[in-house]
């Protein structure tokens, strides 16, 4: 209850997620495991260093032709 004595508002989305979590308590652990499969990967620092060293600086406007020398 808030100051006016009205019940606190809970959105339909919140109610749905809470009911989903109650129905399947392992949901969050499964989500974390799925995220670990896709995103939590070890980084090869040597490869990242080589890729950074091999970068070629890009011109501010890539579609502008090179000036011709006459």
Q: Count of domains in the chain?
A: 1
* pTM of structure: 0.47
Q: What is the domain range of residue 35?
A: 12-53
Least confident of 22-26, 44-48, 57-61: 57-61
Per-chain mean pLDDT for the chain: 88
Q: Is residue 17 part of a domain?
A: yes
Q: Is residue 46 part of a domain?
A: yes
Give residue-wise pLDDT tens across range 26-47: 999 999 999 888 888 888 999 9
DSSP 1-69: --TTSPPPP--HHHHHHHHHHHH-TTHHHHHHHHHHHHT-----HHHHHHHHHT--PPPSSTTSPPPPP
Q: Is residue 3 part of a domain?
A: no
Q: Is residue 19 part of a domain?
A: yes
How much is the average pLDDT of 50-61? 90
């Amino acid at each position: 209850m808030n100051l006016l004595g009205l019940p606190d508002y809970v959105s339909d989305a919140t109610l749905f997620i809470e009911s989903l979590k109650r129905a399947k308590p392992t949901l969050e652990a499964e989500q974390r495991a799925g995220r670990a499969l896709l995103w939590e990967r070890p980084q090869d620092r040597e490869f990242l260093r080589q890729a950074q060293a091999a970068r070629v600086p890009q011109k501010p406007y890539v579609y502008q032709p090179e000036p011709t020398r006459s």
